[in-house]
Amino acid sequence: MLPINCLETTSAKMREQPNIAVIGGGVVGITVAKLFQDRLKNAKVTVLAENYTEDTTSHIAAGIFRPGTSFKGPTKEITKKWLNESWQFWQDILKTPDAEQIGVMTLGAYIFSKENYHVTRNHLIEDLVPIYRPVTDEELKLGPKGTKFGSYFSTLKVECERYLPWMGNIIVERGGELINRKVENFASLSNYDLVFNCAGLGAKYLCNDYDMVPIRGQVIKVKAPWVKSAFYGDIDTYIIPGLNGVVTLGGCRGYDSYNLNYCKYDAASILERCCEFLPNLKNAEVIAHKVGLRPHRMPVRVEPELVDGVKVVHCYGHGGYGVMTAPGTAIDAVEMGLNFLRSNIKNKL
């Protein structure tokens, strides 16, 4: 946060039409752009992105609300705030008649393990989601042979295939623009009053941020409308049903891997592990194989910085949890952006 004496509450910038750029057309950039418009109606918001919709990492994600227990903001309190506010954001959409059209749905999920009780627990959401409980003896039989531990929880899922175009349309209807452009550096955006950096893995290069690490993931999208609950198992195995009977089968995590090519060995391993849960999946029609690089950073970076005289608010590094946590981080980024815009800071923070 900026020191209070840096704020000019009656700043001319707030009265004119401030010119705002958002780098990134994934779930984080699109959410920040829309939430900024919500807060400052007279702002001219331009999204600048190399890729949109199906060419983003966001589009590949199953989008389930289940953070890894290592998901981290700068403090425990901020981590919790991001999760709570994100959950509330998605709940508000679920209450509307458009939820399905926007790509948001409720979902029940099982998490099983043959070896480790702790992987079935999640301190970050046990007091947030409506249900998080141990499975019954009967439910334990839903896991593969040898399953010893299990939990059931109620959660939600967001399909970026629908969410991104829906939010993008709102941004444009309000006078914003979505432009195809690769940003080489922040200095090239000196004509903007404020820039949000939501470039995901691209932020590694824009900021020379060596804490940014890709974590490679591969999934199989299959048609299996009979799958009604999500299942998690050992060795990063998951089965996550979505809208229109499309189910995401995963997964794998390749730390520091930049390989965006499909790997047939990963696909075979994923299918074998998922069929241990639900043998019928081997007959499911394969719709697509997808590979993405999770933009991992510890902690996720949400903070203002003056770079080459340009006011920049960073919001990147959400790793494997950026769909679910985009709104909470975006709310903080937008607040920082509004304070930054009002300030007359000319030197480094």
Ligand X SMILES: Cc1cc2nc3c(=O)[nH]c(=O)nc-3n(C[C@H](O)[C@H](O)[C@H](O)COP(=O)(O)OP(=O)(O)OC[C@H]3O[C@@H](n4cnc5c(N)ncnc54)[C@H](O)[C@@H]3O)c2cc1C
Any idea what DSSP says for residue 118?
A: G
Q: Which of 37, 58, 122, 147 binds ligand X (CB under 6 A)?
A: 58
| Residue 199 C-alpha from the chain's centroid | 12
Q: Report whether 232 belongs to an annotated binding site.
A: no
Q: Which 236-275 positions form the footprint of ligand X (CB under 6 A)? A: 250-251
Letters for 99-138 (x = contact with ligand X by CB under 6 A, - = none) are ----------------------------------------
Minimum Å gap between C-beta 136 and ligand X is: 26
Pairing of the two strands 246-250 and 237-241 = antiparallel
Tokens of 164: 């991104």
168 binds ligand X (CB under 6 A): no
Cis peptide bond upstream of 319, omega within 30: no
163 is in an annotated binding site: no
What does 63-100 look like in DSSP terms, one character per residue?
A: -BS---TT---SSHHHHHHHHHHHHHHHHHHHTSTTHH
Least Å from the CB of residue 149 to ligand X: 22
Q: Which of 143, 241, 320, 328 binds ligand X (CB under 6 A)?
A: 320
Q: Concatenate the DSSP letters of all residues of 300-337 into one string.
A: EEEEEEEETTEEEEEEEEEGGGHHHHHHHHHHHHHHHH
> Under a CB-based contact definition with an 8 Å cutoff, are residues 152 and 131 in contact?
yes
Which among 50-58, 132-140, 170-178, 270-278 is the span making contact with ligand X, rule CB under 6 A?
50-58
HSE value, Cβ hemisphere, 13 Å, CA-based, for 294: 25
- 320 is annotated as contributing to ligand binding: yes
Select the residue interacting with ligand X from 6, 19, 50, 335 (CB under 6 A).
50
The residue of the chain with the least Cβ separation from ligand X equals 202
Close Cβ partners of 271 (under 8 Å, ≥ 6 residues apart)? 220, 249, 281, 282
How far apart CA 120 and CA 125 sit, in angstroms, is: 12
Q: How far is the CB of 216 from ligand X (least distance, A)?
A: 7
Q: Which one of 27, 43, 156, 333 is in contact with ligand X (CB under 6 A)?
A: 27
Q: How far is the CB of 180 from ligand X (least distance, A)?
A: 9
Restricted to residues 182-211, the positions that interact with ligand X (CB under 6 A) are 182-183, 198-202, 206
29 counts as binding ligand X under rule CB under 6 A = yes
Contact status: 147 vs ligand X (CB under 6 A) = no
Nearest-approach distance from CB 37 to ligand X, in angstroms: 17
Is 337 an interacting residue with respect to ligand X (CB under 6 A)?
A: no
Size of the residue set binding ligand X (CB under 6 A): 42
57 marked ligand binding residue: yes
Question: Hey, is 192 helix, strand or coil?
Answer: coil
Using rule CB under 6 A, residue 73 touches ligand X:
no
CA 271 to chain centre: 25
User: For tokens 């589009």, what's the residue?
Assistant: 59
Which of 72, 297, 314, 318 touches ligand X by CB under 6 A?
318
Residue 42 in tokens? 């007279």
List residues near ligand X by CB under 6 A. Answer: 23-29, 48-51, 56-58, 60-64, 182-183, 198-202, 206, 217, 219, 250-251, 292, 294-295, 316, 318-324
